[in-house]
Chains A and B, each alone.
Chain A
Amino acid sequence: MISRRRALALAATAPLLTRCVFNRSAVRVGSKNFTESFVIAEIYAQSLEAAGMPVERLFNLGSTQIAMAAMRRGNIDLYPEYTGTALIDVLHLPPIANSRVAFEVVARAFRQRYDIIWLNPSPMNDSQALATTRAVASRYGVATLSDCARLAPRLRLATIQEFLARPDGLPGLKRFYGGFQFREIRTYDIALKYRALLQSAAEVSSAFSTDGAIATYDLFVLRDDRHFWSAYNVAPVVRARALAARPKIADVLNAVSPRITDRAAQMMNAKVEHDQADPADVAAAFLRQR
């Protein structure tokens, strides 16, 4: 017969045990503490759930360092990471502008150093950009940064002060692409730069490629055809052990990643940052559309 004390001790540990078992069987998905990371982590989590895998969310991890520490200690199994962030902030390597090359470098290094696997990257590339309206793009025949470099003497640029000073801003563009001698440059204090485009006070503005405003105003992002700006494609990074235990994770996430485009990210960022929608609802709506 079990003693009374023993029975009490068992009763006390029982919920703890079930919780441990549950946690071990759930896929633990992490995120960093900004909109895009929340939404993409939700997309991963809901995709896994839809494929029948229980998920535990450990969102809002605060920083890349914390997310990586959680991975290496096995506190989380996967989270969305950016190739550029991994390259520069984790591996301390110089930036790479070519998306494919950046991915190959980080994927190899993470596998060797951390036993962490990069699943397929999304086309979404959270990066610096130049934007214009569709009307301007077709009137001037400007679709790429090379076009813009050449046609700049006919175009006006709306931007913010720092774009004129940063090495990855206008000075860098001029050095790398040549040209880019804009007819007029106007800086806006609190970034009414998109409004300048819409009111035809400028033809081109500096932008970030996943800004919600690009989708909201249906702007056109010029293609960085010669690869000047560092690549920041997003991909699920997964602990190799967790992946070995559940190989299905790769199939599920590799199926959803191609759908996460710049356009999709712009719309999701707009819904959360502008319309104040819940990231989980935004992710669910994204997964529902086909």
Chain B
Amino acid sequence: MNPASITFEGVTVRYPGVQRNAVTDISLEVGGGELVVLLGPSGCGKSTLLRTVNRLVALQDGRVLVDATDVAQLDAVELRRSVGYVIQAVGLFANMSVAQNIGVVPSLLRWSRGEIDARVDELLRLVGLDPAAYRNRRPSALSGGEAQRIGVARAIAARPRALLMDEPFGAVDVVVRTALQRELIRIVGELRTTTIFVTHDVDEAFRLADRIVVMREGRIEQAGAPFDVFQAPATPYVRQLVHAGDDVYRRYYMRTRELLRTT
């Protein structure tokens, strides 16, 4: 299946009982197969914007299109099955095995038992875990990093057309995080799944992104290729956030970005 494009058109969200908009008049196109990182401090609206795609929040104004279809026209359940979603608290079902967790959406979609089993093994290998060792484990027997890998496997099990990730690696230590970032780059590269990734970590944004979208107070400050943002920050806020002008940071970002892709 071709990777989906995701288009935000004048998207505005205001939560009930809150004076200020969570996001205001955001327009953004995410191309098929692109990995876009929404970067900004907590409360900048990045998670809210992400959650408009699978309709976890309602729009005040504007629309969100997956390919040419307004998500408001789609059945919410169907939509969420076709768009993978990974959050920091992985939310694996404790009473199910790893295999059953990964197979949740495929079995809802009534894949055959054989198809699901094959898919589970394929995905465990894809996220770097040995199927024989992990297939029958309970979530309680997983480390934080392993659980996060299973979360990613579950999100892409039914071959979603897009992947939404909300600070997915925020709760694991730096070694595991780097390993997961490396896996994500490889997986998204192989599957060419359109991905929107939310983080407040500038370093992570520079490692992962095809394009960085810097957000602040519900609006987009700047969107661009990582080193274009670094080289030509659009606002003083962006300049300070990415340490633009300090070549030591540029070299560090470039080197770590490169390392994730070469080894």
Does A77 touch B at the CB level, under 8 Å?
no
- Beta-carbon contact of A34 and B178 below 8 Å: no
In the complex the two chains form, is A208's CB within 8 Å of B178's CB? no
Interface residues of A (CB under 8 A from B): 33-36, 63-65, 82, 84-85, 88-89, 126, 128, 160, 162, 190-192, 195, 208, 210-212, 230, 232, 269, 273-274, 276
Asked if A276 and B255 make an inter-chain contact with CB atoms under 8 angstroms apart, the answer reads no
Decide if B248 is an interface residue (CB 8 Å cutoff): yes
B115 within 8 Å of A (CB atoms): no
Given contacts A162-B227, A274-B263, whether A82 and B248 have CB atoms under 8 Å apart is yes
A192 contacts across to B, CB distance below 8 A: 262
The complex places the Cα of A195 from the Cα of B248 at a distance, in Å, of 23
Chain A residue numbers with a CB within 8 Å of B252 are 34-36
Whether B227 and A65, one on each chain, are in contact in the complex, defined by CB atoms closer than 8 angstroms, is no
| Complex: A82 Cα to B246 Cα, angstroms | 10
Q: Contact check, B243 vs A208: say whether CB atoms are below 8 A apart.
A: no
Q: Which residues, 238 to 263 on B, are CB-close (under 8 Å) to A?
A: 240, 243, 245-249, 251-252, 254-259, 261-263
Known: A126-B251, A276-B175. A64 touches B227 (CB 8 A): no
- A–B pairs, 13, beta carbons within 8 Å: A33-B203, A34-B248, A34-B249, A34-B252, A63-B240, A89-B246, A128-B251, A191-B262, A192-B262, A230-B247, A232-B248, A274-B259, A276-B179
Chain A residues within an 8 Å CB radius of B255: 208, 211-212, 269, 273
Interface residue SS majority, chain B:
helix
Q: Which residue of A lies closest to B189 (CB)?
A: A190
Number of B interface residues in the complex (CB < 8 A): 24
Closest B residue to A211 using CB positions: B255
In the assembled complex, the Cα of A230 lies from the Cα of B248 at a distance in Å of: 11
| Contact present for A276 and B246 (CB under 8 Å) | no
Inter-chain CA distance A269–B259, complex, in Å, is 11
Contact: A65 with B262, CB < 8 Å? no
Residues of A with C-beta under 8 A to B247? 84-85, 88, 128, 230, 232
* Least Cβ–Cβ distance between A6 and chain B, in angstroms: 43
The CA of A36 and the CA of B246, in the complex, are separated in Å by 14
Expressed in whole angstroms, the minimum distance between the Cβ of A215 and any Cβ of chain B is 13
Residue of chain A at shortest CB distance from B262: A192
Please report the C-alpha to C-alpha distance between residue A160 and residue B245 in the assembled complex, in whole angstroms.
Answer: 19
* Distance (whole angstroms) from the CB of A35 to the closest CB of chain B: 7
Q: Give A36 to B248 CA distance when docked, in angstroms.
A: 9
CB distance from B132 to the nearest CB of A (A): 26
In the complex, which residues 191-230 of chain B have their Cβ closer than 8 Å to any Cβ of chain A?
203, 227
> Which of chain B's residues has its CB closest to A192's CB?
B262
Structural contact, B261 and A190, CB atoms closer than 8 A? yes
A276 to B262, CA, bound (A): 15
Within 8 A of A (CB), among B160-188: 174-175, 178-179
Determine whether the beta carbon of B248 is less than 8 Å from that of A126: yes
Q: How far is the CA of A192 from the CA of B257 in the complex (A)?
A: 12
Chain B minimum-CB-distance residue to A126: B248
Q: With contacts A65-B240, A208-B254 known, is A273 near B259, CB below 8 A?
A: yes
B166: shortest Cβ distance to chain A, in Å? 22
